[in-house]
Amino acid sequence: MRCPYCKFEDSKVIDSRSSGEGTVVRRRRECLECGRRFTTKEHVEENPLMVVKSDGRRQVYDHDKLKSSLTISCKKRPIPTSKIEETVMLVERQMRDMSHDEIKSREIGELVIKHLRKLDEVAYVRFASVYRNFQDKEEFMSEIKGLKE
């Protein structure tokens, strides 16, 4: 690994640690020329997951977009950020298990709804109202009745 300070081509690994549920390896290195230390991260390169939209368009799955949607749904709710991130990771893991290359946006929405329902009912109704495109209060009431049962 090239030293970011002196650009020497060789370094030695001082410490290695796994993180990110075992998907990332963090290595502490020391340059064999200048002796300075630096950190590198190594992760598995996966094929990008493609999302098939309802109109047939395809786009690359965006982790930040899903996290943002969940964050908006959970706004002003007693839900720690760590729980939101955990939910995103669970949904992503299920998406990878379901498909190798492509997944329908509808399937992603259903996975999110399933997890949000367990996490927080208000966040669930908020997400469902956008995801299922509620048009009037009767649709809200129907969803809330479903929660009660």
pTM for the predicted model, two decimal places: 0.65
Sorting pLDDT into bands at 50, 70 and 90, what band is 143?
Answer: confident
Residue 35 above 70 pLDDT? yes
What is the largest distance, in Å, between two alpha-carbon atoms of the chain? 71
What is the C-alpha to C-alpha distance for residues 86 and 112, in angstroms, rounded to an integer? 12
Amino acid 147 reads L
Sorting pLDDT into bands at 50, 70 and 90, what band is 47?
Answer: confident
